[in-house]
Amino acid sequence: MRRHTRHLAKIAGLTGLACWGCIALAQPPPEDPGRTFVACPVYRDTNSGRKSGCWLAVNPVDGVRYDISLGRTKPQIGHQVLVEGRLETLDQPRQAGSACGGVVLRPVVVSVLEATCRSFMLPAESYPGRRFVLDLKAVLPPADVVESIPPPPYPPRTWSIEFSFGSDFLQYQYSEIILDEIGRYIRASRPRRIEVIGYAVTAPRWISGERLAESPQLARGRAETVALALRRLGATRRLLQVKWRDNPSPLSDKPGLAEPSRRRVDVRLLY
């Protein structure tokens, strides 16, 4: 069964350009908005300026080509990706009417896996892509901008920092923005203790014929990575209480991406 599923994945995402496109248009997506699958990503080189290119992936289960460009992290050509997302809308048009040539997943989390696969790029094929617009809320302010101090009162508060599957690396910009806010609260409120709890999802899941489970050591690695970042932002070792655990519950405010929210570190300030 596993070998058969891998064969289908190769047909759906790894063969020549013409066949890749034919299978991707095979059928519309089912009504369930959730999508989780493993695939080989393809980059479409559109012509709407810098960073306008599109990342696409074919789900080997439904044979549909999905636009996975809107995740926090981008795929890597030549490596399989774990895609976890939801349809932007259930009534969105077929691929022909989209900016990239795929059914849009948003929100979507993309994790680069170790397994390699064939890599190639698609031409624009009249798809415009998305013109890049800098989101100032998603980037750190310049160093010369005066730091804003959070006003009191300071009740106990928890932040969660999510991670890609199988990784303890802090995601560029996304993690930095959260850590910057935590650092400002630490310096302004002077907490009595800072709890840092790292989690890993070690319970296996079968996705697209692949068995995926995280190493138990990742929970500790994630917690220690965040603790190190907090020390650089002003937290002392005396304040930090670092813990790690396996298989947490998903975050309640992430109904659309419950599984990715389990791969996280929680930071709680106590007074």
CB 270 within 8 A of CB 156: yes
pLDDT-derived band at 9 (thresholds 50, 70, 90) equals very low
Q: What span, in angstroms and rounded, lies between the C-alpha atoms of 138 and 136? A: 5
Which H or E element spans position 22? helix 17-24
pLDDT-derived band at 7 (thresholds 50, 70, 90) equals very low
51 plus 93 within the same structural domain: yes
User: How confident is the model at residue 54, as a pLDDT?
Assistant: 94
- Pull the structure tokens for residue 102: 């795929």
253 plus 224 within the same structural domain: yes
Is residue 128 a part of any domain in this protein? Answer: no
Residue 116's domain spans which residues? 2-123
Res. 181: pLDDT tops 50:
yes
User: How confident is the model at residue 97, as a pLDDT?
Assistant: 55
pLDDT digits (tens, 9 = 90+) for 84-103: 999 987 665 554 457 999 99
148 plus 108 within the same structural domain: no
CB 81 within 8 A of CB 68: yes
pLDDT digits (tens, 9 = 90+) for 33-88: 899 999 999 999 997 777 779 999 999 999 999 999 999 999 999 999 999 999 98
Count of positions (residues) in the chain: 271
Is residue 130 a part of any domain in this protein? Answer: no
145 plus 264 within the same structural domain: yes
Give the domain CATH number at 167.
3.30.1330.60
Mean pLDDT of 183-196: 96
CB 97 within 8 A of CB 130: no
For the chain, the domain total comes to 2
111 plus 213 within the same structural domain: no
| Bridge partners, residue 160, by sequence | 266
pLDDT digits (tens, 9 = 90+) for 205-259: 999 999 999 999 999 999 999 999 999 999 999 999 999 999 999 998 887 899 9
User: How confident is the model at residue 25, as a pLDDT?
Assistant: 43
152 plus 105 within the same structural domain: no
With b for 16 or more beta-carbon neighbours within 10 A and e for fewer, the 45-73 pattern comes to ebebeeebbbbbbbbbbbbbbbbbbbbbb
114 plus 150 within the same structural domain: no
Is residue 101 a part of any domain in this protein? Answer: yes
Which H or E element spans position 268? strand 264-270
* Lowest mean pLDDT, pick from 22-26, 64-68, 113-117: 22-26
User: How confident is the model at residue 147, as a pLDDT?
Assistant: 81
User: How confident is the model at residue 94, as a pLDDT?
Assistant: 52
Q: What span, in angstroms and rounded, lies between the C-alpha atoms of 170 and 127? A: 33
Boundary (domain end) residue, out of 100, 123, 146: 123
Q: What span, in angstroms and rounded, lies between the C-alpha atoms of 132 and 48? A: 8
> What pTM does this model have?
0.85
Q: What angle do CA 69, 247, 258 make, to 5 degrees?
A: 35
99 plus 142 within the same structural domain: no
User: How confident is the model at residue 90, as a pLDDT?
Assistant: 66
Boundary (domain end) residue, out of 95, 123, 151: 123
Is residue 129 a part of any domain in this protein? Answer: no
Boundary (domain end) residue, out of 74, 95, 123: 123
pLDDT digits (tens, 9 = 90+) for 129-142: 988 877 767 777 77
